[in-house]
């Protein structure tokens, strides 16, 4: 009948103790009835033997339950350990990601500062170039006429060295260094083909005959509109005009 019931190890042990106690009690009564004051040693041995047999003889179904409970405890312990390891790994990954983000942020800030510094330096150079472009041309001797070589020599005195080639490229295409070049259809005039030519009067009243006046006006125009002669040349190459 025990095999059909789910009883715990404590219940089995209790049953065994109760049985042993009952046997001992019966033996005591029998002994008193026969005139003996001590329980039979055989009875005690039988009771003890009965307890041992009951404790050892746990039903197979109950053994499976005990084993299942033990495995469940082991699984719970493993799950707790796995959760702890996963949390530790996640925290470590978060710390690593935060450190990488901090480094990237610092590098980006440094890069931005470097770019801003470079931009300021370029702006300072551009301002210096523009200032040089507006230099007084009164010290350039005036002539009744100028050859191409003479006109180019004047331009070299007025145009910054790093911008001269770009300036020269534009003049080559616009007038072939002829300071009297005129476009009858549009009214453009001079080395840089100002349109209309009278615009160059802002640089000097002798704009029709003095290449230095034309160069001064053309250089200021390129700086103001395109930032530099090279900026004007880049635009010219893309559009064939500036």
Between the CA of residue 29 and those of 18, 42, 118, 180, 226, what are the distances in Å?
17, 14, 114, 151, 127
Would you give the end-to-end CA distance of the chain in angstroms? Answer: 111
**Confidence at 57, pLDDT banded by 50, 70, 90:** low
53 has a pLDDT exceeding 60: no
Cβ neighbors of 225 (< 8 A, separation 6 or more) are 232, 242
What distance in Å separates the CA atoms of residue 154 and residue 69, rounded to the nearest whole number? 103
DSSP label of 34: T
What distance in Å separates the CA atoms of residue 91 and residue 203, rounded to the nearest whole number? 71
- Contact between residue 171 and residue 232 where contact means Cβ atoms under 8 Å apart: no
pLDDT tens-place string over residues 72-131: 888 888 889 888 889 988 988 898 889 888 898 888 888 887 888 887 777 766 665 554
10 token code pair: 């404590």
What distance in Å separates the CA atoms of residue 182 and residue 176, rounded to the nearest whole number? 11
pLDDT tens-place string over residues 161-194: 999 999 999 999 999 999 999 999 999 999 999 9
30 token code pair: 């029998």
- Contact between residue 183 and residue 173 where contact means Cβ atoms under 8 Å apart: no
Give the residue carrying structure tokens 């707790």: 80
DSSP label of 228: S
- Contact between residue 27 and residue 38 where contact means Cβ atoms under 8 Å apart: no
Q: How many residues are present in the chain?
A: 242
Q: Which of 206, 229, 221, 193 is nearest to 141 (CA)?
A: 206
Q: Which helix (H) or strand (E) holds 121?
A: helix 60-133
> Between vectors from CA 196 to CA 176 and to CA 142, what angle results, nearest 5°?
60
Instruction: Please state which of the ranges 49-53, 54-58, 68-72, 86-90 shows the lowest mean pLDDT.
Output: 49-53
pLDDT tens-place string over residues 194-232: 999 999 999 999 999 999 999 999 999 999 999 999 999
| Coil/strand/helix, residue 163 | helix
Give the residue carrying structure tokens 């009744």: 144
């Amino acid at each position: 009948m025990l095999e059909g019931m789910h009883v715990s190890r404590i219940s089995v042990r209790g049953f065994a103790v109760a049985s042993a106690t009952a046997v001992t009690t019966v033996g005591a009564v029998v002994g008193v009835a026969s005139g003996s004051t001590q329980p039979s040693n055989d009875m005690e041995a039988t009771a003890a033997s009965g307890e041992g047999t009951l404790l050892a003889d746990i039903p197979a179904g109950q053994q499976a339950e005990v084993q299942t409970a033990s495995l469940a405890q082991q699984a719970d312990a493993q799950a707790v350990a796995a959760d702890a390891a996963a949390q530790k790994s996640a925290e470590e990954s978060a710390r690593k990601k935060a450190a990488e983000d901090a480094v990237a942020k610092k590098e980006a800030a440094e890069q931005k500062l470097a770019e801003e510094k470079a931009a300021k330096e370029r702006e300072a150079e551009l301002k210096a170039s523009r200032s040089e472009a507006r230099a007084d041309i009164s010290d350039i001797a005036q002539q009744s006429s100028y050859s191409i070589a003479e006109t180019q020599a004047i331009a070299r005195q007025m145009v910054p060295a790093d911008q001269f080639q770009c300036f020269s490229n534009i003049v080559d295409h616009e007038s072939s260094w002829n300071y009297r070049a005129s476009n009858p259809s549009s009214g453009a005039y001079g080395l840089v083909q100002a349109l209309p030519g009278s615009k160059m009067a802002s640089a000097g009243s002798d704009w029709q005959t003095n290449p230095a006046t034309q160069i001064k006006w053309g250089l200021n125009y390129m700086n103001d509109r395109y930032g530099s002669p090279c900026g004007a040349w880049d635009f010219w190459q893309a559009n064939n005009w500036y």
